[in-house]
Amino acid sequence: MGRYLAIDYGSKRCGIAVSDPMKMIASGLETVASHSLMTFLAAYIQKEEVECVVVGKPLQHDNRPSESFILVERFVNAFRKRFPGIEVAWEDERFTSKMAVQAMVEGGLKKSERRKRENVDKMSAVLILRSYMDTQNKKN
């Protein structure tokens, strides 16, 4: 039984979150430099079975793709080519950064830790994954 893995893809770094094998809990895994992401994923997928990679879809308020969508789409195409047996799903990532900071405030994380972009990126990936998991649970 494979895990879900979520990516909050950015031009500099990517937040990564994973589910447990039962697909009930979403946890922050890592923040990786964008240029190292494919190498990181290859190593992770070799160790852990991944059923689906959920990628945050950058949209504008009017549902049109944002400027960064082209960059994310390029990554997704490269991922699909390298790992054709792993499903890729898109999940709306609007407002995840704001929600991530709010979740860290509510969780009692110190201000100095909330300012670190890598923590925000990782928490954003958790929120993307949680949203996807909620949708999947409603379907089942």
Q: What is the residue whose two structure tokens read 């992770």?
A: 44
CA distance 96 to 128: 7
Among the listed ranges 74-78, 106-110, 117-121, 131-135, which one has the minimum average pLDDT value?
A: 106-110
Are 122 and 10 spatial neighbours (Cβ–Cβ below 8 Å)?
Answer: no
| pLDDT per position as a tens digit, 82-130 | 999 999 999 987 656 665 556 655 666 566 655 566 667 888 899 999 9
pLDDT number for residue 102: 65
The two tokens of residue 52 are: 């689906």
| pLDDT per position as a tens digit, 60-69 | 778 787 788 8
Does the structure show a pLDDT above 80 at 30? Answer: yes
Cβ neighbours for 63, distance < 8 A, ≥ 6 positions apart: none
User: What does the DSSP assignment read for 85-97?
Assistant: TSEEEEEE-TTHH
How confident is the model over 43-49, as a mean pLDDT?
A: 97
Rounded (to 5) percent helix, strand, coil in the chain:
45, 25, 25
The DSSP code for 115 is: T
Helix (H) or strand (E) holding 24: none
Are 44 and 50 spatial neighbours (Cβ–Cβ below 8 Å)?
Answer: yes
Q: Are strands 13-19 and 87-92 parallel, antiparallel or unpaired?
A: unpaired
- Tell me the domains of the chain and their CATH numbers: 3-139 (3.30.420.140)
